[in-house]
Amino acid sequence: MAYQVLARKWRPRNFPEMVGQAHVLQALTNALEHNRLHHAYLFTGTRGVGKTTIARILAKSLNCEKGVTADPCGTCAACSDIDKGRFVDLIEVDAASRTKVEDTRDLLDNVQYAPTQGRYKVYLIDEVHMLSSHSFNALLKTLEEPPSHVKFLLATTDPQKLPQTVLSRCLQFNLKRLPIDEISQHLIKVITAEGIQYEDPAINLLAKAADGSLRDALSLLDQGIAYGGGSLSGADMASMLGNLDTHVIGELIRLLAAKDGTGLLQCVAHLSEQNPDFVSVLGEILSLLQQIALAQVIPSDEQEIVQLAEQLSPEDVQLFYQIALIGRRDLPLSPEQRGGFEMVMLRMLTFRPEQQAVQTAQKPAPVSRSTPPPVQNAPNIQNATQNTESQTNDWGNIVQSLPLHGMLKQLAVNCALKQRTAKKWTLVLPLQRKSLFNKSREKDLEILLQKHLGEDIRVHIAVEDHAIETPAIQQQRVQENHQEYAATKINEEPFVNYMKEHCDARVVSINTAAQ
């Protein structure tokens, strides 16, 4: 007897044998049991999820000799003939090969005639979106008012291409992609029944490569059995599918965590010797980063994942994921894959979140200034200097805590606190910033201060022409310090020095580039 491929041999013959799609099966079962049957059903979904299989089971349910039922017997002449593809009243049409309007008219010429063998004449049109607009027009009238003995079962992977006039005349069921766990369980069931030796990693690889399609999973299983000589090992399946060792992906992440640019480029060079699909490599990196992010929130049992989760900060993981995601999208646009992949890795290496610097910039620390040495017999001068510094720093902290926005915020950060009493605060605004001042903003600032302090105070803003230490000046100094610190750190990076020496690279500050 000729060998029958697993995808056909293990095709479900009734609803209970279906894998997944419970939401569709429940609706169809209830309709059949309560005899609430529609004249047109549309099944949508990606390849290999069971669209035509469900349609054929529904055809058996409608024509089974024991009556309309959600549980066809599978043994009567109608059920047997439908399974073997020779039931006269089940007309299966591949719309991709019959797109002309003449084909559709020929098909519909026999609609008016009663079924020859069964209870209903069932038209199963696969890939219905491939019909031409004229074909849809020819089908539309019959689809709207078909004879009582006719049922239309339509299947498509692209429902967006169907006219709304057709969609509105059908009951639509969207079949979902199958999760990896359900595919794995079904593959184990099939392999066990077939007497094939297997390893769990092999099943996981096949289920993942199927990408939600059970038919693809069974086809890959057939290929895997042939590749492995009658058995399934993880190494064989990884080789057949072109999958990389997960340790290689982990090594890339470790080198990123260690900021080892030279080692990272060497690892990519070693990786390219295996001639991988770098788009798939970025997919593996995304998958590993997602597992690392989960391990930073929920404890993981995988030691390698735990180690990587400890080496990377959550901010690093999120940034790497976003860079890899965009890089995977743009990689086909690069002149050649390896160069594009290297640029994605270097982007991850270059752009690292400086969380501490960001936090400091958001809330500047008090800037210490040199205090004049105490002058003998002049304690009042020293106390006055210290009071001025204290007031300046206090005003900066208060400005940070007030709900300021727009021009009112600009006014506040460019003022300095000159004098403070229990009933009145005097602020000083530099002459070059006088355009920020008006009485309305002064009043608004007074109201905010009263709410913040819980005191009935008055605010007076004076414009003066001399140097004043304001929160804005403090902020600028902090940013300059951070930029100087960042430039120092960048120039200390081994990878940056490597690029300078070997690639004639140079470090350009953002401010310089903007000019």
Q: Is 264 exposed, middle or buried (0-12, 13-18, 19+ CB in 10 A)?
A: buried
Task: Please name the residues in contact with 398: beta carbons below 8 A apart, sequence gap of 6 or more.
Answer: 449, 452
Q: Could you give phi then psi for residue 425, rounded to 5 degrees?
A: -115, 130
DSSP letters for 178-220: PPHHHHHHHHHHHHHHHT-EE-HHHHHHHHHHTTT-HHHHHHH
Q: Counting Cβ atoms within 10 Å, is residue 299 exposed (0-12), middle (13-18) or buried (19+)?
A: exposed
* Per-residue pLDDT at 155: 94
Q: Is 279 within a domain?
A: yes
Give 90's strand partners: 122
90 in any annotated domain: yes
Q: Supply the pLDDT for residue 471.
A: 80
In angstroms, the CA 359 to CA 373 distance is 33
Give the pLDDT mean for 89-110: 82
pLDDT at 388: 46
Q: What angle do CA 215, 216, 222 make, to 5 degrees?
A: 95
251 and 221 assigned to the same domain: no
Q: What pLDDT score does 367 carry?
A: 39
Could you tell me the CATH number of the domain that includes residue 227? 1.10.8.60
Whether pLDDT at 240 is above 60: yes
* 15 and 51 together in one domain: yes
Is residue 274 domain-shared with residue 294, that is, in the same domain?
Answer: yes
Structure tokens at 416: 């300095």
Q: Judge whether 432 lies within some domain.
A: no
Domain boundary among 241, 256, 289: 241
Pick the residue with more confidence: 334 or 507?
Answer: 334
Asked if 219 and 324 sit in the same domain, the reply is no
Domain end (from 320, 350, 380): 350
Q: What is the DSSP letter of 437?
A: -
**Mean pLDDT confidence for 41-60:** 94
Q: What is the pLDDT of residue 193?
A: 93
In this structure, are residues 178 and 14 in contact, taking their beta carbons and an 8 Å threshold? no
Greater model confidence, 63 or 504: 63
Q: What is the DSSP letter of 374?
A: P
**Is 395 among the domain residues?**
no
Task: Decide if 1 is inside a domain.
Answer: no
Do 220 and 298 reside in the same domain of the chain? no
**Same structural domain, 153 and 61:** yes
Of 187-196, 392-401, 503-512, give the range with the top mean pLDDT: 187-196
195 and 332 housed in the same domain: no
Q: How confident is the model at residue 353 (pLDDT cuts 50, 70, 90)?
A: low
- Domain assignment present for residue 383? The answer is no
Q: What is the pLDDT of residues 418-430, one digit of tens each?
A: 888 888 999 999 8
Q: State the Cα torsion 153-157-161-164 to the nearest 10°.
A: 40
* Placement of tokens 């890899």 in the chain: 324
From residue 95, alpha-carbon distances to 48, 126, 185 in Å are 17, 6, 33
Q: Give, to the nearest 10 degrees, the angle between helix 214-227 and helix 234-241.
A: 110
Domain span at residue 492?
476-514
Residues 152 and 301 in one domain: no
- In one-letter notation, the amino acid at residue 196 is I
Domain with 260 in it: what CATH number?
Answer: 1.20.272.10
Look at residue 273 and tell me if it is in a domain: yes
> What CATH number is associated with residue 55?
3.40.50.300
- With b for 16 or more beta-carbon neighbours within 10 A and e for fewer, the 308-320 pattern comes to bbeebeeebbebb
Let me know: does 199 contact 236? Beta carbons within 8 Å: no
- CA torsion through residues 465, 471, 472, 473, sign: positive
Q: Where among 292, 317, 350 does a domain terminate?
A: 350
- Both 17 and 71 in a single domain? yes
pLDDT (0 to 100) of residue 385: 40
Inside any domain, residue 48: yes
Q: Are 428 and 462 in contact (CB under 8 A)?
A: yes
- Does residue 18 sit in the same domain as residue 90? yes
Amino acid type, 17: E
31 and 169 within one domain: yes
Residue 83, CA distances (Å) to 12, 88, 161 in order: 10, 12, 30
Which segment of 22-36, 67-81, 103-117, 446-460 scores lowest on mean pLDDT?
103-117
The predicted-structure confidence for 130-176, as pLDDT tens digits, reads as follows 888 888 888 888 888 888 999 999 999 999 999 999 999 999 999 99
Number of domains in the chain: 4
Considering the domain architecture, whether residues 49 and 29 belong to the same structural domain is answered as: yes
| Mean pLDDT in residue range 202-210 | 90
